[in-house]
Amino acid sequence: MAKRPFDIQAQPGFGFMALLTFFALYLPIAALVTYSFNTADSLSRWDGVSLRWFISAWHNSAVQDASVRSLVLAVSAAALSTIAATMAALATTRTRPYPGLTFKYAFINQPLMVPEIVTGVALLIVFSRIKVWTGYSGLGYLIAAHTAFCIPFAYLPIRARLDSMDLTLERAAADLYATPWKAFRFVTLPLLRPAIIAGFMLAFVISLDDVVITEFVKSGGQDTLPTYMLGQLRRETSPEINAIATVFLALSVVLVTAFYFVNRRKP
C-alpha cells in the first residue's frame, strides 16, 4: 500500500495551533487599533468611539516634525539604497562567474544577519569621530546609516529578477550595435522596473520602521516617528500613541501590500 505524502495540515492539532498563533500575533494589534478610537484618556477604560486622538496627533507639532523627518529619511534612504542595490545586482549577475563572486554576494547580504544593536554601536563609534572632525551633526548620518542597512533588502528582489530574466533581448540589442548603456536603458531597465519598485518599497518600509540604529545614530532634535513614540512611552502612556501607531500600521500594510503585488507582477 502506497504511503500518503506528508501533509502538515493533516496533522492532529494543526488547526488549533494555527488559530492560536494568529490570535497571539494579531490580538494585540487589534486591541491597539480599537483603543486608538477610544474617547477616554485611559488606556484601560472604553468610553466610546471618537477620532479625538487622531486629531490630537495631527495637531501635535512634535508629531508633525517627527513624521516629516521620518518620510524624508525613508525616501532618501530607499532611493539611495535602491540605486546601490541595482548596481550591485547588475555587477553580480551580468558577469561570468569568478573566484570571490559568492563572497561578494554574502558580503552584500551580511547586514541581514548582523544584529541591529551591533550595527548601531559600530555606526555610533564611526560617526562620533566624524562629528568631532567635521563639526557636522545633521540628518546626513541617519540617511547614510539607513541606506547602508536597507541595501540588502532592496538587493534581494532586484537580484532575483535579474537571475530569472532571459538574456535573449539583451543579446539581440548588442547584436544590433546598441551600446551597453542603451541596452540597459531600453531593454534591461524596463524589464527590471517592477523589481526596482518592489526593492524601493521594501527599503522604504524597513527605514520607516527602524528604531534601534536610529536611536544610536541620531543627534539631539532628530527624533523620527518611531523614536518619538518610544520616548513618549518612557515618559507617559497616552492614547495618542495608539492613534499614531494605527496610522503607522496602516501605512506599512499599504506599502507591504503594494510590494507584494508589484513583486508578483509579470512583465
Tell me the one-letter amino acid at 187: V
Sign of dihedral through CA atoms 252, 258, 259, 264?
Answer: positive
What b/e readout covers 75-105, taking b as 16+ CB neighbours within 10 angstroms?
bbbbbbbbebbbebbbebbeeeeeeeeeeeb
pLDDT at 83: 94
- Rounded Cα gap, residues 82 and 205, in angstroms: 13
66 domain residue, yes or no: no
Query: Max Cα separation, the chain?
Result: 78
60 domain residue, yes or no: no
Task: List the chain pLDDT tens, one digit each, 267 residues.
Answer: 456 676 666 777 777 888 888 888 888 888 888 888 888 777 777 788 888 888 888 888 888 888 889 989 999 999 999 999 999 988 888 777 778 777 888 888 888 888 888 888 998 899 988 988 988 888 889 999 999 889 999 998 898 888 888 777 777 877 777 777 888 888 888 888 888 988 898 899 889 888 899 999 888 788 888 888 888 777 776 778 888 888 888 887 887 787 777 666 554
DSSP per-residue codes, 115-150: -HHHHHHHHHHHHHHHHHHH---STHHHHHHHHHHH
Contact yes or no for 127/217 (Cβ under 8 A) = yes
Give the structural domain span for 150. Answer: 79-218+247-264
Q: Using the structure block, give the residue that is written with the C-alpha cell 548582523.
A: 114
26 domain residue, yes or no: no
Q: What are the phi and psi torsion angles at 38 (to 5°)?
A: -80, 140
pLDDT at 59: 85
Q: How many domains does the chain have?
A: 1
91 domain residue, yes or no: yes
- Rounded Cα gap, residues 26 and 22, in angstroms: 6
62 domain residue, yes or no: no
What is the C-alpha R_g of the chain? 23
144 domain residue, yes or no: yes
pLDDT at 151: 92
230 domain residue, yes or no: no
For the entire predicted model, the pTM comes to 0.80
* Domain harbouring 206, CATH code: 1.10.3720.10
Contact yes or no for 139/222 (Cβ under 8 A) = yes
Contact yes or no for 234/177 (Cβ under 8 A) = no
143 domain residue, yes or no: yes
For residue 108, give the nearest of 74, 155, 143 by alpha carbon: 155
